[in-house]
Chains A and B, each alone.
Chain A
Amino acid sequence: MSTQSSSRGHRSEIHPRNCWYAVATSEDVSHEPLGRRVIGTGVVLFRTTDGTAVALEDRCAHRPYPLSLGRVDGDRIVSGYTGFAYDARGFCVHVPTQSEIPVGARVRAFPVHEDGAFVWVWLGEPALAGLRRPPVTPWLKDPNWATLGGEWETNADLLLLHENFADITHVAVVDPYIAPPVLRSSPPPLEVEVTETTVSFSRTYQPAPLPEWQAELLGLPADAAHVQREQGAFVTPGLWVDRWDVHVDSAPNETQIHTFRFTHAVTPISVGRTRHAWRVSRNFALGEQAGKALLPIFTDYYRRVQRILETMQNVLDTDGSRKEVNVSADAAALQVRKIIRNMVADETGTGSRRAISGVNR
């Protein structure tokens, strides 16, 4: 019996809410209100006097005017229209025209976690925020790593971005200049490791030359061959982390590992639109000059990917979803889809996850 269910493995219209999303960078959040949209919800971010980041629903309880168009006054945010003021918990604490606060005058307050690079916000069931580990990205603030990056809004759905991160064999096709030569030949076995909530993959390549720009950066001869290793991990719907290691024999019996770490903080703005903050960190060639040389190379690559993602979203929007053919190398991407799909099923109670299971004693 044919089993072509359109709900299986295909584009979901709903995003998971019970997870942390990097709604803004730490630099972006200040004593000026900042308005962002996440999963179709308006969120206003600001800092109280002691520097704590706060996230409230970006809509005054009184009239439909965004709080992000108002101002921060001490530890409160004040509407720029009728002057209602709210504290960090979202409770209305002042109304210009009377001394009593109306019953129920409050806006949603979202749990916030800040790790020095990003301000992570929890849009789901607030009680669960304390029961789920927030993502951390310590290397972004570690002085032993030099980080560059960019961010923009991409007109493509969250899942398309994750599937792109999950399989880097596209790099050689999309951007031959940036791609390590190894990516152009048949790749070694892909190892995928799964847990309930994460997927990670890795490949170790036999010694091969580096791309020109990297050999130059490291001051190595262009044709010297080095062992290279790629690793990627889906940490949570809001975070993907990769690394690319190059093994250089610095002395007999001594190998140095030069690493690029890639951080992708992705936040669904709405269906088909995602905020993408990307960072490239390196533990070699830490100087400013190297950073200046690398930024355009990576920016160009990520822009190419952005165009491809937006093109795919356009095809989906115009011509619809379709059962797709997969290959073994898609294993990581398919596991990510499964995790996200299961999260949405659990949150919405639509039960596409198995309802019955067994455990031995």
Chain B
Amino acid sequence: MTITQTIVREHEADLVVREARQVADGVVAIILAAPDGAELPAWTPGAHIDFVLGDDLIRQYSLCSSPSQPEAWRVGVLRAPDSRGGSERVHDVLAPGSIVRVRGPRNHFPLVASSRYLFIAGGIGITPVLPMIAEADAAGADWRLFYGGRERASMAFISELAHYGDRVIIVPQDEQGMLDLESVLGTPQQDTLVYCCGPEGLLAAVEKFCEKWPPGSLHLERFSAKPQEPSAAVDSAFELVLQRSGLTLEVPPDKSVLTVVREAGVSVLASCLEGVCGTCETEVIDGDVDHRDSVLNEEEQASNEYMMVCVSRCRSPQLVLDL
């Protein structure tokens, strides 16, 4: 009997850099297009793409152009000396005319419909928020943006935000100190969505304030894995059943579920391999999941409906996935 194989992958293409421009201290805006001028895949605010810079070097960047422009994508890249070298590579290697392989787009940070929004952006976290503001504004929603950064010169796209007037509150740290989250989030509001993107310190603080807000108010995007509590337990092996493929496999202590699934020839999407980007999210049919990702919130983790197979494991003897 022949086994029918299905290969699922994300859209991948070689795009050409049309423009690479320094838009703030340490921030470069890169405009990408198809070499033949063909339309690029449609996306919505909050979407990001992978830059495939090498076998081991894949970095995610939010799209900050407009979904109405099908012929080009724009991303903003922050040079970060302590990242795994990806951003340095981007700055140094990508000049107008160079070709970059991209994957996606995908979106795990979509703009959900609401009549009111509070946008909170820190540093490069402004990139996914820019197109969100354009849509919230066009839809006539009531919104405010609080945009914090080290100093004005390091904060990108301030000029693009100027036409929104006093809905945008710029808070450079050297001029005004840290963003006053107490005044922004201190009083929980109904029918208001809070969107936040920026460094871990900002995200952790916003999460804390929003604990008192109605459930589902807060939408976050993280740049890097949340610091995890080191686990005292040793990883154990468990049985893995892939329902759709009809396979039963063994996940040893030293391999991820993702690796075992791929070694068995079953296709599953993945990108960051750190439990951060949400690409490998898989539906769980049965099993007590040991969540080790930075994507799902406590409620989502407790429901055991989904797991990030690149990092998470299983506490019970058997894990059944919809793969």
Contact = CB atoms under 8 A, between A and B. Distances in A.
Interface of A: 1-5, 8-9, 125, 127-128, 130-133, 186-187, 189-198, 325-331, 335, 342, 345-349, 351, 353-361
A346 B193 CA distance: 12
Interface of B: 2, 4-11, 39, 41-44, 47-48, 59-62, 66-68, 70, 77-78, 80, 83, 86-87, 104-114, 124, 128, 134-135, 138-140, 193, 216, 218-225, 243-245, 266-267, 269, 272, 274-278, 281, 283-288, 294-297, 300, 303-306, 322
Nearest to A189: B5
Most chain B beta carbons < 10 A, residue from A125, A335, A359: A359
A345 B107 CA distance: 13
B300 A354 contact: yes
B69 to A, nearest CB: 9
A330 B193 CA distance: 35
B5 A190 contact: yes
Contact of A194 (B8, B138, B297): B8
Given A3-B305, A127-B140, A347-B113, A359 B11 contact: no
Contact of A5 (B11, B222, B305): B305
A348 B221 CA distance: 21
Given A131-B67, A194-B11, A360 B272 contact: yes
7 contacts: A128-B139, A132-B67, A346-B111, A354-B296, A355-B297, A359-B62, A359-B223
B71 to A, nearest CB: 11
B9 A196 contact: no
A133 B68 contact: yes
Contact of A361 (B78, B135, B300): B78
B223 A197 contact: no
Nearest to A185: B2
B221 A357 contact: yes
A84 to B, nearest CB: 27
Contacts of B7: 189-192
Contact of A349 (B6, B114, B295): B114
Nearest to B306: A354
A contact patch SS:
loop
B218 A355 contact: yes
A130 B77 CA distance: 28
A356 B207 CA distance: 11
Given A133-B42, A196-B41, A361 B113 contact: no
B104 A358 contact: no
Contacts of A191: 6-7, 9
Contacts of B70: 133
B276 A326 contact: no
Contact of B138 (A9, A127, A353): A127
A330 B8 CA distance: 11
Which of A125, A132, A197, A347 has the most chain B CB within a 10 Å cutoff? A197
A196 to B, nearest CB: 5
Given A194-B8, A196-B41, A349-B113, A359 B277 contact: yes
A361 B87 contact: yes
A168 to B, nearest CB: 14
Contact of B68 (A8, A131, A190, A197): A131
A186 to B, nearest CB: 4
A218 to B, nearest CB: 29
Nearest to B138: A127
Nearest to A325: B243
Contacts of A330: 244
B89 to A, nearest CB: 12
Contacts of A127: 135, 138-140
A354 B124 contact: no
A242 B196 CA distance: 40
Given A358-B221, A358-B224, A359-B60, A192 B68 contact: no
A125 B112 CA distance: 12
A351 B6 contact: no
B220 A355 contact: yes
Contacts of A327: 4, 244-245
A187 B128 CA distance: 41
A351 B135 contact: no
Contacts of B128: 359
Nearest to A126: B139
B60 A196 contact: no
B6 A354 contact: no
Nearest to B294: A358
Contacts of A9: 283, 322
Nearest to B289: A1
Contact of A353 (B11, B59, B110, B297): B110
A327 B221 CA distance: 33
A198 B62 CA distance: 18
Given A3-B304, A198-B42, A348-B113, A359 B5 contact: no
A356 B193 CA distance: 13
A2 B286 contact: yes
Nearest to A186: B2
Contacts of B243: 325-326
A348 B295 CA distance: 22
Contacts of B110: 342, 346, 353
Contact of A357 (B6, B68, B274, B277): B277
A189 B2 CA distance: 11
Given A3-B284, A328-B4, A359-B61, A196 B107 contact: yes
Contact of A355 (B39, B59, B216, B322): B216
A342 B278 CA distance: 14
Most buried by A among B42, B59, B277: B42
A107 to B, nearest CB: 19
